[in-house]
Amino acid sequence: MDTLEVKQPKISSDPKATSHKALESIPPTTLSKKEIEDRLISARISMLLNCPFYGNLACRLEMKDATDWCPTAATDGKYFYYNRDFVSALSMGNLVFLWGHEVEHCVYDHFGRRGERDPMLWNIANDYIVNGDLIEGNVGEKITLVEICHDYKYRGFTSEEVYAELFQQAEEEGRVINVSTLDVHLDMEDGDDEGAGTNANAQEGNAESKGKGPAKYTADEKRAIKEQFKNATIQAAKSAGAGNLPSGVKRLVNDLVNPQLSWRELLPQQIQSVIRSDYNFNTPSRKGIGEGIWMPGLDREQTIDVAIGMDTSGSMTDDMSRDILSEVKGVMDQYTDFKIHLFCFDTEVHNPQEFTANNMDEFMDYEVMGGGGTEFDVCWEYMKENGIQPKKFIMFTDGYPWSSWGDESYCDTLFIVHGGGYGGEKPVAPFGITVPYEREK
């Protein structure tokens, strides 16, 4: 799947092949420019009242008439481009949906994540994500005037995951699926060029060259727009709350508002945290001795005593086990006084070994064993039976125990979880600290 995400498909990506035929039947509007803008403003007010997170962000986008080049709508993170005839033909609920659609493209930073993927297929994947979010979150009313990308099977997916599936389908069939995106997707990759449309709805002609296309930005301006909208997203989440947001947006907002340390950053912190510190007069503080003042000094207990349990129920690969062993060894190489109780487990404990500074050279040769079911309780049973009470227990697991997660009261526990639950969410332990495992890129 990783290979699919960066390859260019050997298929046709002709925008004209998937243009909205329904747009041809929309009559020219009889509403004035002010009346059109009033409708858009009313939709934003409705969003502020009913879905304030989206409403706050919609108010950041400056409305801009783009009828000359845009058949529906578009955004670059600064402007909300719209087609007068399309806006006139939509209901108020549809307009809320349209605002939400453009807002989500900015929230997800769909402009800057494409990389070398096929532009048209990437845009289709993004629309599946955005439209699914809006329908799940009851943001306005689903637009039916034109066919939009929506499939419940993509609930909980990321754009990259949808793209990989669409790419595979496109290669098998030799063509991009015959669907259209709702809006024009502007290319906002870094570069001193204009935000040219790369969307299936892009019309023929050279309106852009006549100064009627989307705004042009320098690379610095594009980065500034992206950063400003990111900050606005954080503020909108804090002021409006994320309680009623679609699951995908909620996860993204939570990552922005509460950034998490990676397991590689957290692991050394958790190991170091077991070094207990206290004050006593056996090692007095040097400060004040010259003035005849004796103060207790910091007495650090240098012994690090940790246990590591590796879940070998079948979902862990050899690369994963080598990865975490290598990371642990890198941390322990900083210390001279430590004890590591290392074992594997499934429904029982396998190959328990003890490592100190004297035999740490053998650590990377540790043999991973097991492969049956998963029973977390056997870890605590083994430690109790063998008189092992570590200052920190680190479990590397897929996060799916058969029964309980273990004994919460026995020792501090760090769970490094490499499994993926429904919608790609990582399981979270009911106690201790849970951090997702990610391979280093």
pLDDT at 278 > cutoff 50? no
Q: Which of 269-283, 363-377, 411-425 has the lowest average pLDDT?
A: 269-283
Can you give the pLDDT at residue 187? Answer: 75
Residue that wins the pLDDT comparison between 365 and 195: 365
Count of alpha carbons within 13 Å of 225, Cβ hemisphere only? 24
Can you give the pLDDT at residue 265? Answer: 80
The Cα 128–Cα 122 span in angstroms is 10
Q: Are 159 and 111 in contact (CB under 8 A)?
A: no
pLDDT tens column, 114-170: 888 888 899 999 999 999 999 999 999 999 999 999 999 998 888 999 999 998 888
The Cα 94–Cα 145 span in angstroms is 9
Residue that wins the pLDDT comparison between 216 and 286: 216
**What is residue 263's DSSP assignment?**
H
Indicate the domain borders of the chain: 2-257, 263-436
Identify the CATH class of 263-436: alpha beta
Can you give the pLDDT at residue 213? Answer: 86
What's the length of the chain? Answer: 441
pLDDT at 272 > cutoff 70? yes
The model's confidence at residue 396, banded by pLDDT at 50, 70 and 90, is very high
CA 57 distance to own-chain centroid: 19
How far are the Cα atoms of 59, 164, 262, 327 from residue 440, in angstroms, in the given order?
38, 20, 10, 11
Can you give the pLDDT at residue 5? Answer: 39
Residue 421 amino acid letter: G
The Cα 284–Cα 6 span in angstroms is 60
Can you give the pLDDT at residue 294? Answer: 55
pLDDT tens column, 342-390: 999 999 999 999 999 899 999 999 999 888 788 999 999 999 999 999 9
Q: Which of 314, 328, 322, 323 is nearest to 400 (CA)?
A: 314
Can you give the pLDDT at residue 284? Answer: 55
Mean pLDDT of the chain: 81
Tokens of 344: 């594997």
Residue that wins the pLDDT comparison between 280 and 175: 175
The model's confidence at residue 2, banded by pLDDT at 50, 70 and 90, is very low
Can you give the pLDDT at residue 198? Answer: 44
pLDDT tens column, 37-94: 999 999 999 999 999 999 999 999 999 999 999 999 999 999 999 999 999 999 999 9
Can you give the pLDDT at residue 383? Answer: 97
What DSSP element (H or E) covers 82? Answer: strand 79-82
The model's confidence at residue 424, banded by pLDDT at 50, 70 and 90, is low
pLDDT at 234 > cutoff 80? yes
Q: Which of 172-181, 200-209, 211-220 has the lowest average pLDDT?
A: 200-209
% the chain with pLDDT above 90? 43
Q: What angle do CA 40, 43, 47 make, to 5 degrees?
A: 140
Q: Report the largest interatomic distance among the alpha carbons of the chain, rounded to a whole angstrom.
A: 94
The model's confidence at residue 437, banded by pLDDT at 50, 70 and 90, is confident
Can you give the pLDDT at residue 111? Answer: 84
- pTM for this predicted structure: 0.59
Q: Which of 247, 237, 258 is nearest to 56 (CA)?
A: 237
Q: Are 415 and 393 in contact (CB under 8 A)?
A: no
Can you give the pLDDT at residue 299? Answer: 47
Residue that wins the pLDDT comparison between 309 and 189: 309
% the chain with pLDDT above 70? 77
Can you give the pLDDT at residue 279? Answer: 44
pLDDT tens column, 292-307: 655 555 444 457 889 9
Q: Transcribe 231-254 into DSSP letters.
A: HHHHHHHHHH-STTS-HHHHHHHH
Query: How many of the other CB atoms lie within 10 Å of CB of 2?
Result: 8
Can you give the pLDDT at residue 257? Answer: 65
Can you give the pLDDT at residue 25? Answer: 82
pLDDT at 233 > cutoff 80? yes
CA dihedral defined by 403, 407, 413, 418, rounded to 10 degrees?
-10
